[in-house]
Amino acid sequence: MIWVNQIVQGVLLGGFYALLATGLSLMFGVMRIINLAHGDLAVVGAFLVWWLHDRGLSVGVSLVIMLPVLALVGVVLQRVLLERSLRAGVLMPLLTTFGLAIVIQNLLFEKFGADIRSVDIGSLAFDGWRVTDQIYVGKLPVLIFGVALALLGALQFFLSRLPLGRAMRATAQDPETAELVGINARGVYLCAAAIAVATAGLAGAFLAMRATFDAYAGPTLLIFAFEAVVIGRIGSLWGTLVGGVSIGVAQTIGAQLNPQWSILAGHLVFLAVLAARLTVSGVWARGGFKAAVGIRS
Amino acid sequence: MSAAASAVRVQRWTPLSIVATCVGTVLLAALAFGPVVFGANTIDKLTELFVYVILAAMWNALAGYAGLVSVGQQAFFGLGGYATIQLTQHGVNVFLALALAGLAVAAVSLPTSLVVLWLRGGEFAIAMWVVAEVFHLLVNLDHSVHGVTGTSLTALNHYDPTDRRRYTYWLALGMMSGLLAAVFFLLRGRLGPSMQAIRDDEQAAGSVGVRVLRTKLVVFVLAAAGCGAAGAIWLAGQLTYQPNSYFSIQWTAYMLFMTLVGGLATFEGPIIGALIFFFIQDRFGTHGVWYLVGLGAVAILCALLLPRGLWGTIEDKFGIRLLPVGYRLRRRDS
Amino acid sequence: MSILEVEGMDAHHGLLHAVRGVSLSVARGETLALVGANGAGKTTLLRTIAGSHPATLGRILYDGTDVTSLPAYLRVRRGITLVPEGRRLFPDLTLEENLLVAGRTGRKGDWNVERLYKTFPMLARLRKKRAATLSGGEQQATAIGRALMTNPGVLLIDEASLGLAPVAVDLIYESLAAVVATGMTLVLVEQDVGRALGVASHVACMLEGRIVLEGPAAKVTREQVVDAYFGLGAATPA
């Protein structure tokens, strides 16, 4: 029964990871940019909510203020940094977003110090429902999972039904032709960046509520988000939910075996899925590793 | 052969590049006499510089020449230190262990490549990061490494500090020279254009017969060995091995800075970048957080404004190629 | 007054001088056929007019206004729409989505989804199909329909018959004739000179980046066009 509880916790954790991964997936799907500062932007969201809450605003209001601020950050980032990086080549955004990650981390450390922080949400932090003796479902994790579902659903609806969403999909597939049918590709990118960074901030805010964070928490978040995106297949929104849940469950089951193995378990599952997928996709069908490398047997 | 083709010849060595190569070789040979001429502090500093040069050259070979941007080379850096510790704990002479660490890491990089080398672009970058984290976590599980507090390369205590310093210096100089020579000959050989073809357009490269995966594998293993050797030498200089420090993403930050500022995809660029980085580290390294912010900001600005880096921009402006890793076409009448 | 005017246009592909000093004038309701061999510069010219490609020199005037500095999507909103070579539908969008995504230019006009399905009857039953799964002819019809959704003032079509079976091309040109009948101004790049002359009111022939022959279709003989196409003899601009 304890395993069922772990799986339940893992699924709920997966909701958080899916939320975190959504922005990364969107930015890659639409603009082919892997934003290595994604995790750090989530941490910026966390700090902003914490800071506003610290000044006396309620958590809810802080959240509502943080979202448009981070959306604006996304727009500025796209306009000032990412647009130029993309023009310089496919590798350049990797380099500049990595530099940006370092700048953000260390500026946050400079401003807020080394203290580990959290946002106090009162009893919501441990309220929950005891389903059975061994299964306890927390309200906050369920809330986060619900928000993730709602966000993914809303985004999916936006992309398939609304004109701007359709324009976004078209631009993602062929930006030059999109311009030829009257779509402002640059504007679409700004919009995608705004959504991506705002959702990252939202995930960061939830991180602040459900756990702790500090200035250097970004890279860990990025890795988990990335793992979720890749497992769920790049470009698929619901796939990030599958990916997030996979990582979440891997981590909670790993933790049950040995607390030290929790994160490692997630990484190993990721690498295993990668290896399995590449194997299945025909590496072996094409003669295996030896043939691919060119060794004559 | 058409009239046009015979009017042009391919030139690899120019007078400038002959001079430059000679000067470079003489410089390396002269550095071997370092311990005789320089004081202890300078020797230590030079050893540190050699490590930076190795790291920059390796990252450049991967990203600049083969198009493989890795955000996880610290995986092999940390593994190099770990391999040294393990070897000495099993009775191998410490300096032999230091020399072999790179090879040990190269061996580990082979199965690693099985998982990551099929990936491209951002996927490869972050998969390497995950690999680094996995190595870090696995090494932490080894109790003999004492987790966060780390362990020391106690075998070095058998040696007199002066001797230890010298041997480490010579080992570092030897490794650096060897690795630079390896990259040099790689670029001049068949693999050079192959790598760059892959970097520019993998599919097109494959379609003209470039063995894409094999080429990538060679560069990947070389870079792993180089970073592993660097990690070992770093350990010899620092004496202590804390996984947190050796597997830190900071190392990728440094490699990124050195290659971007010096000049991606040039041979001389990483060396210049390492020199610049070394001087900055020496003067400002103690300024904590602002120092890192500055590094990151300079790297970003460089990427946007000087995408070819310092040396790359100089090369473009003046049309000079110091070392003969490329080809020149000359008209027969000139 | 002409609806589209090109003055002294130059365009390059890197070092290659693809369009050399081209000047054109297209009147409202005219159908201009732009012919010429591969590499003559026809596609580059159309793309530069549409804004996909930068002009090195020269001006483009739409309805008297200089649009040379406008990006492609703004030119569409003014009234210049290009159906690019190779169709270039959005592969993972359905046929109908491809049409809908183009209809948001804010231009007034008669073209909408229903009217399109009447003009291209074969498309109606395919509306929910993924664009990548359509046949060549269906894709071409969709691409033209998509361009029409922007309610253009000038419709530029690049190689409508490329890679299509003759039967499919027939259907396309039938529909094009219907479009022309509504008064639409058309600039058509076409390698099939016969087809082009069949539907056009005016013809211009390009060779190595220059216009070497132009005039009303009725006044230009097939021999003159062939000569100009291959660069034989002296071609007389009308």
Residue C71 pLDDT class (50, 70, 90 cuts): very high
Residue C130 belongs to a domain:
no
d(CA A293, CA C201): 60
Interface of A with B in 53-92 (CB under 8 A): 81, 84-85, 88-92
d(CA C229, CA C213): 9
Residue A253 pLDDT class (50, 70, 90 cuts): very high
Statement: residue A53 has pLDDT above 90: yes
> Encoding tokens for residue A215?
């200035």
A263 to B137: CB separation less than 8 angstroms, yes or no: yes
User: Tokens 């916790």 appear where?
Assistant: A9
Residue B239: the pLDDT is: 85
pLDDT tens column, C165-185: 888 888 888 888 888 888 899
Residue B14 belongs to a domain:
no
Q: A154-163, A272-281, B92-101, C20-29: which range is least confident on average?
A: A272-281
> Across residues A87-104, what is the average pLDDT?
84
Statement: residue A289 has pLDDT above 50: no
State the total domains in chain B: 1
> Across residues A283-297, what is the average pLDDT?
47
> Please, which chains are in contact with C (at least 3 CB pairs closer than 8 A)?
A
The whole-angstrom distance between B280's CA and the closest CA on chain A is 17
Residue B111 belongs to a domain:
yes
The whole-angstrom distance between A259's CA and the closest CA on chain B is 12
Residue C222 belongs to a domain:
yes
Q: A156-170, B136-150, C153-167: which range is least confident on average?
A: B136-150
Residue C205 belongs to a domain:
yes
C68 with C237: CB under 8 angstroms?
Answer: no
Alpha carbon of residue B181 to chain centroid: 12
Residue B148: the pLDDT is: 66
Using CA coordinates, name the residue in chain B closest to A281.
Answer: B118
Burial class, A208, CB count within 10 angstroms (exposed 0-12 / middle 13-18 / buried 19+): buried
Residue B2 belongs to a domain:
no
Residue A291 pLDDT class (50, 70, 90 cuts): very low
What's the whole-model pTM score?
0.86
Backbone angles phi, psi at A182, to 5 degrees: 95, 10
Q: Provide the residue range defining the domain that includes C161.
A: 2-88+153-230
Statement: residue A229 has pLDDT above 80: yes
pLDDT tens column, C39-66: 888 999 999 999 999 999 999 999 989 9
More confident residue, A250 or B187: A250
Residue B6 belongs to a domain:
no
DSSP assignment of B139-183, as one string? HHH-GGGTTTT-EE-GGGGGS-HHHHHHHHHHHHHHHHHHHHHHH
Residue A297: the pLDDT is: 38
Handedness of CA A121, A126, A129, A135 (dihedral sign): positive
State the total domains in chain C: 1
More confident residue, C84 or C162: C84
C touches A, CB cut-off 8 Å, minimum 3 pairs: yes
SS3 C91: coil
Domain containing B202 — which CATH number? 1.10.3470
Q: Provide the residue range defining the domain that includes B57.
A: 21-331
User: Tokens 């230890």 appear where?
Assistant: B164
Residue B327: the pLDDT is: 66
A91 to B63: CB separation less than 8 angstroms, yes or no: yes
Statement: residue A296 has pLDDT above 50: no
Q: What is the set of domains in chain A, with CATH numbers? A: 2-293 (1.10.3470)
Residue C14 belongs to a domain:
yes
Residue B16 belongs to a domain:
no
Nearest one of C43, B239, B70 to A91, comparing CA atoms: B70
Residue A228 pLDDT class (50, 70, 90 cuts): very high
Statement: residue A222 has pLDDT above 90: yes
Residue B231: the pLDDT is: 95
Residue C238 pLDDT class (50, 70, 90 cuts): very low
Composition of chain A by helix, strand, coil, percent to 5: 80, 5, 20
Using CA coordinates, name the residue in chain B closest to A273.
Answer: B115
> Across residues C99-106, what is the average pLDDT?
86
**Pairing of β B8-11 and β C2-13:** unpaired
Beta bridge partners of A117: A213
> Encoding tokens for residue B99?
């020399």
Domain containing C21 — which CATH number? 3.40.50.300
Residue B142 belongs to a domain:
yes
Alpha carbon of residue B186 to chain centroid: 14
d(CA A82, CA A34): 10
Residue C104 pLDDT class (50, 70, 90 cuts): confident
Mean pLDDT for chain A? 88
A99 to B304: CB separation less than 8 angstroms, yes or no: no
* ipTM for this prediction: 0.89
Statement: residue A295 has pLDDT above 50: no
**Pairing of β A136-138 and β A128-130:** antiparallel
Amino acid in position C9: M
User: Tokens 């369009």 appear where?
Assistant: C19
d(CA A26, CA A32): 9
d(CA C71, CA A123): 55
Residue C48 belongs to a domain:
yes
A17 with A145: CB under 8 angstroms?
Answer: no
Low-confidence residues of chain B: pLDDT under 50: 1, 334
Residue B15 belongs to a domain:
no
Residue A14: the pLDDT is: 95
Statement: residue A250 has pLDDT above 60: yes
Handedness of CA B297, B303, B305, B311 (dihedral sign): positive
> Encoding tokens for residue B75?
């995986």
Residue C6: the pLDDT is: 92
Residue C110 belongs to a domain:
no
Backbone angles phi, psi at C152, to 5 degrees: -75, 160
Q: Looking at the complex, does the CB of residue C102 fall below 8 Å from at least one CB of chain A?
A: yes
Four-CA torsion A46, A51, A55, A58, nearest 10 degrees? -10
Residue A292: the pLDDT is: 45
Mutate to test the interface with A, among C101, C105, C149, C157 (most CBs of A within 10 A): C101
d(CA B278, CA B285): 9
Residue C95 belongs to a domain:
no
